[in-house]
């Protein structure tokens, strides 16, 4: 995109929108920095906080440690969804950042398995759950805030900016993890590099919490709430009867199912790129832990560039057509993964794995940048609860299936085992996007 196009895009943003993007982006960056710091350093931290095992069992434990971060997300979605739909979106994004700061601080000073035994495993798992719950609510809260504070077409890149800064947080976490692997840097301060990284994460999350207090409530939510308060006053409607009316307001089952299936798309691509391929590089290509983390760091930069490009494109192109095109391109590229890896020399395998990691993050099929389109088909006073709960359940199920499924599927089928996860997810994604396209067409008629 040329400079004139970029200026044109930003000129359509109001001052309040630019301020909201700035404050929300900072918070999202910090949330995902803290969350992904553990994910990308799992190869190191699992050895410190979990007992040593054989390679196959270690893979299962890595999968469990990864999936445990999603166990409490449905409960968190209900709690934060209720707060977001009754109190406001602003309250949620402040609370979630504060929770991230506290959990990161605990991890920074937590003794290892060698020091306190299985207690270390349980404490770090609980901290991971708290981080994951807060990050899930954070992402939905930030996206809903921007969705309800803007209109198309500027709405699409605005909401996509949340994903861009989440990606930046992931990249920063990988950068810090790469530095943290060089213990010599931290000898003079008497602290392990990874502990310092979590301590820094806790500090910046606290800064993000304070900064977000200056946000005003999302326009659409705030306006709707004022209309309801006016209705209560003018028509003398009891608060209880009004609450019952809103509790009865529901989203169509097909809409909820389609949204749920679309949210199932991202997890397999993420796990394949950053976890499964990392295991291949370590176990089959002989990469060291620091080399694996550095590889993921470079891939994450490619990921950010791809998301950023899609965000700008969504200002000019139909977002639903964009995400459907990525679906076809993804399968057109990934079909060669098992073919090539089964036929290349071991010395070349690492290079090809890196290439497919880059292709996967560039072409992976997921909701970005069409997220605002999906949100608008849910009732505004149920929107946070519905979407966050559906997203939480989708990610809990799909990440669990992807992580454990890939361990067993690839053990039985080799590299072809990845398609036992990707094919069902791709088919469900295709028909779900078609459903929302029909909804959009019906509104235009």
Q: Classify residue 5: in a domain, yes or no.
A: no
Q: What is the pLDDT of residues 308-348, one digit of tens each?
A: 999 999 999 999 999 999 999 999 999 999 999 999 998 89
Q: Classify residue 124: in a domain, yes or no.
A: yes
pLDDT of 85 reads 79
* Structure confidence at residue 433 as a pLDDT band (50, 70, 90): very high
Q: Classify residue 302: in a domain, yes or no.
A: yes
Q: Classify residue 243: in a domain, yes or no.
A: no
What is the model's pTM? 0.79
Residue with tokens 């979990």: 50
Q: What is the pLDDT of residues 34-55, one digit of tens each?
A: 767 776 666 667 777 777 665 6
Asked if the model's pLDDT at residue 276 lies above 50, the reply is: yes
| Lowest-pLDDT range of 13-17, 130-134, 146-150, 413-417 | 13-17
Q: What is the CATH number of the domain that holds 43?
A: 1.20.1250.20
pLDDT of 401 reads 86
Asked if the model's pLDDT at residue 246 lies above 70, the reply is: no
Asked if the model's pLDDT at residue 6 lies above 50, the reply is: no
pLDDT of 3 reads 45
Asked if the model's pLDDT at residue 19 lies above 60, the reply is: yes
pLDDT of 415 reads 94
Q: Classify residue 413: in a domain, yes or no.
A: yes
Q: Classify residue 144: in a domain, yes or no.
A: yes
Q: Classify residue 120: in a domain, yes or no.
A: yes
Q: Classify residue 405: in a domain, yes or no.
A: yes
The domain total for the chain is: 1
Domain that holds residue 78: 17-217+251-444
Average pLDDT over residues 186-213: 69
pLDDT of 8 reads 52
């Amino acid at each position: 995109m040329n400079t004139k196009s970029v200026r044109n895009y930003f000129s359509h943003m109001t001052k309040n929108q630019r301020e909201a993007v700035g404050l929300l982006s900072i918070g999202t960056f910090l949330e995902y920095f803290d969350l992904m710091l553990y994910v990308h350093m799992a190869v190191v931290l699992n050895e410190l906080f979990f007992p040593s095992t054989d390679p196959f069992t270690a893979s299962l434990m890595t999968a469990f440690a990864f999936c445990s971060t999603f166990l409490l997300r449905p409960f968190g979605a209900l709690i934060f969804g209720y707060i977001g739909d009754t109190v406001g979106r602003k309250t949620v994004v402040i609370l979630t950042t504060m929770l991230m700061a506290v959990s990161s601080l605990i991890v920074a000073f937590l003794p290892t398995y060698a020091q306190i035994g299985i207690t270390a495993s349980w404490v770090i798992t609980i901290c991971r759950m708290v981080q994951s719950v807060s990050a899930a609510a954070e992402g939905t809260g930030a996206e809903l805030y921007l969705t309800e504070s803007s209109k198309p077409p500027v709405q699409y890149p605005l909401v996509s900016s949340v994903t861009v800064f989440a990606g930046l947080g992931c990249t920063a976490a990988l950068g810090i993890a790469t530095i943290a692997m060089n213990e010599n840097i931290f000898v003079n301060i008497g602290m392990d590099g990874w502990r310092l990284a979590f301590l820094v994460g806790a500090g910046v999350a606290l800064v993000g919490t304070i900064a977000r207090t200056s946000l005003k409530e999302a326009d659409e939510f705030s306006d709707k709430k004022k209309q309801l308060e006016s209705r209560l006053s003018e028509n003398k409607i009891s608060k209880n009867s009004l609450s019952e009316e809103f509790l009865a307001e529901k989203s169509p089952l097909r809409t909820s199912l389609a949204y749920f299936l679309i949210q199932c798309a991202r997890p397999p691509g993420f796990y394949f790129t950053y976890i499964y391929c990392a295991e291949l590089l370590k176990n089959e290509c002989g990469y060291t832990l620091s080399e694996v983390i550095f590889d993921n760091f470079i891939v994450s930069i490619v990921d950010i560039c791809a998301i950023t490009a899609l965000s700008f494109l969504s200002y000019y192109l139909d977002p639903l057509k964009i995400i459907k095109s990525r679906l076809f391109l993804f399968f057109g590229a990934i079909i060669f993964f098992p073919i090539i890896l089964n036929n290349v020399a071991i010395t070349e395998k690492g290079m090809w794995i890196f290439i497919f990691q880059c292709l996967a993050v560039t072409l992976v099929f997921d909701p970005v940048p069409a997220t605002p389109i999906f949100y608008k088909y849910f009732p505004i006073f149920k929107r946070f609860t519905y979407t966050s709960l559906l997203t939480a359940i989708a990610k809990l199920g799909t990440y669990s299936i992807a992580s454990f499924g890939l361990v067993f599927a690839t053990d039985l089928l080799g590299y072809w085992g990845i398609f036992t996860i990707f094919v069902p997810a791709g088919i469900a994604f295709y028909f779900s996007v078609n459903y929302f396209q029909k909804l959009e067409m019906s509104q235009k008629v």
